[in-house]
Structure 1
Amino acid sequence: MHHPEKIKEITIINDFGGEDKMKRLSYLIYIICLMVLISGCGKATNAGEDKDTLVIATNPSFNGFPEILEFIKPKLKEEGIDLKIEYVNDIIQPNELVHDKSVDANAFQHIPYMEAYNKQHGTNLVAAIKVLAWPSGLYSKRYKDIKDVPDGATISIPQDPSNNGRALDFLAKHGFIKLKEGVGLQATKKDIIENKRNFKIIELDQGMSAKSLDDVDLAFILGGYQTAVGLHLKDALLAEDSSSEFIGVITTRPDNQNDEKIQKLKKVLHTPEVKKFIEETFHGDIIPVFE
């Protein structure tokens, strides 16, 4: 037999228990939202506001800068600077991070690329410290001598504007093609006015040039990428020399280039110890551009 009074009493207790749970849940959600908001505010802080920390973005695919930055960490520590390295896997984010002040500087690009990026994106990033050069060259798995390359051969080159012009200018200087007068490093395929040997020029993402060696006769590979496929500058059929304009730099913003942390970074980078480290570590694939 049922007892309505007891059922009613139990129902009321359960209702209050449910309401209490809802209150606790609402309070928990509020706390979580507050923590997320606080966390978000922390991330919005500019990197440069910490006087003892220098944050530099780099790309692990670019031989040279990541290794050098790791090498100088303890040396910067002696100067009172805690170096933090932020790794990204493309060639756009490092500049975006500098521009929006998420990092103090980046270390991955050469000057013409930086200038092309500024022009394309309306930014005004600056080269604060010259560090190294990655001589690029023409590589092949099919031919041992440039004289053996036949008419109609396929040649892969990078497609990004600065390195595209660099590769075409290189090909023109070595007689593969002829370009419109004066275009120089600004050249595009549209500027080719003579290709007597009917070379087929294929444009690829710069990181794919080395990987294309199995499918093309020649590949213009940017310095630093060839080691990813087990090659070195000495393996190139033709290569740039040390007078190349494509010098790798530490990039920052105009308002930051004279900052004390950047100046201490320059002091540490431009030392005989770092020069020796580059020469002994990279065996000529990467060249220091300071004394």
Structure 2
Amino acid sequence: MRKLLQGLGITALSVGVLAACGTEENTNENNAAGTNDTETNNTENANEEAEGEDLGTLVVGASNVPHAEILEFAAPLLEEEGLTLEIESFNDYVLPNEALAAGEIDANYFQHIPYLETQIEEHGYDFVNAGGIHIEPIGLYSQEFDSIEALPEGAEIIMSSAIPDHGRILKMLEEKGLITLADGVGIEATIDDIEENPNNFEFSANVEAALLPTAYEKGEGDAVLINSNYALDAGLNPLEDSIAIESSDSDNPYVNVIATNSGDEEDERVLKLIEVLRSEDVRDFILEEYENAVVPVTE
């Protein structure tokens, strides 16, 4: 009996030792597994953080040159920031705002502040200026004359039919000494505000802005005033080919802006777009690509 109990004790002790070993091994395995799971989770979180936040997609309407080209350059930079950019190209000044109002695009990039304000007033758009990006100085081009001094008496000067551009154009011509406007007239000036016109220039304002390069190529008029985006699109270099060009000072009110529907100016995607478009990489691209015919601004 004593031997039997001793044998049972040894057996029980063996079982206990085995059980303890098994528990310790299981514990170690579980701890190891838990450690591996933690390391895996930490790695996944680190990878997610490295990839950046997914901001989704932003659809932006833009005129072909230079706006769409600038956006195309910025697209990979935005992708790195977690934002996918879709670009809808337009070749006029009407459809981009209609598309924005209809919700077909999230923002547009083609217009300067006076034009935006006029569009809001005329059409009741609930738009806001989300931020300025660059200036496109207007140039005066001529097939026949190589300087503004060479323009003859009574020369016909063709300008955009877009009224918001008239004050800008006339102020530029005044700065060049070609005309004098009435005192106190600002960017809202019209042809009727010309007070002195010593060379008796005739101003024609019945050509759509997008068709101005065509008028120039056909030799219509003695000189044509063309917005830089349309000049560039037609293969013209505003600095080399124009006989006079608008100042591109940073305080120029004709800065081209990102426009959105009211309330969307604080959209994280729009803020990221503006941040990247004002980045050093994009600024350098604009200056190198357009050789100061398009001038980036900072705010």
Same fold (TM over 0.5): yes
The match for 1:284 among 284, 289, 292 is: 292
Mark the structure with the bigger radius of gyration: 2
CA contact (8 A) 1:275 1:290 kept: no
Counterpart residue identity of residue 176, structure 2: H
The answer for the alignment partner of 1:20 in structure 2 is none
Query: Does residue 269 of structure 1 match 2:269?
Result: no
CA contact (8 A) 2:91 2:210 kept: no
Runs of 4+ in 1 over 3 A off after TM superposition: none
CA contact (8 A) 1:116 1:161 kept: no
Give aligned pairs, total.
240
CA contact (8 A) 2:160 2:166 kept: yes
The match for 1:242 among 244, 248, 261 is: 248
CA distance in 1, matches of 2:192, 2:56: 50
Please state how far the C-alpha of 1:178 moved relative to its aligned partner: 2.8
Please state how far the C-alpha of 1:96 moved relative to its aligned partner: 1.7
For residues 35-184 of structure 1, what are the structure 2 equivalents within 5 Å? 52-60=56-64, 63-184=65-186
Structure 2 counterpart SS, 1:64: helix
Please state how far the C-alpha of 1:51 moved relative to its aligned partner: 5.8
Query: Does residue 205 of structure 1 match 2:205?
Result: no
CA contact (8 A) 2:92 2:210 kept: no
Query: Does residue 254 of structure 1 match 2:257?
Result: no
Q: Deviations over 1:174-199 (max 9, x none)?
A: 33233332222112222223323221
Please state how far the C-alpha of 1:136 moved relative to its aligned partner: 1.0
Structure 1 counterpart SS, 2:265: coil
TM-score (structure 2 length as normaliser) = 0.75
CA distance in 2, matches of 1:200, 1:175: 16
Please state how far the C-alpha of 1:209 moved relative to its aligned partner: 2.0
CA RMSD of the aligned region, Å? 1.9
Please state how far the C-alpha of 1:168 moved relative to its aligned partner: 2.0
CA distance in 1, matches of 2:279, 2:230: 26
Where do 5+ consecutive residues of structure 2 fail to align? Answer: 1-53
CA contact (8 A) 1:133 1:287 kept: yes
CA distance in 2, matches of 1:159, 1:184: 18
The answer for the alignment partner of 1:218 in structure 2 is 223
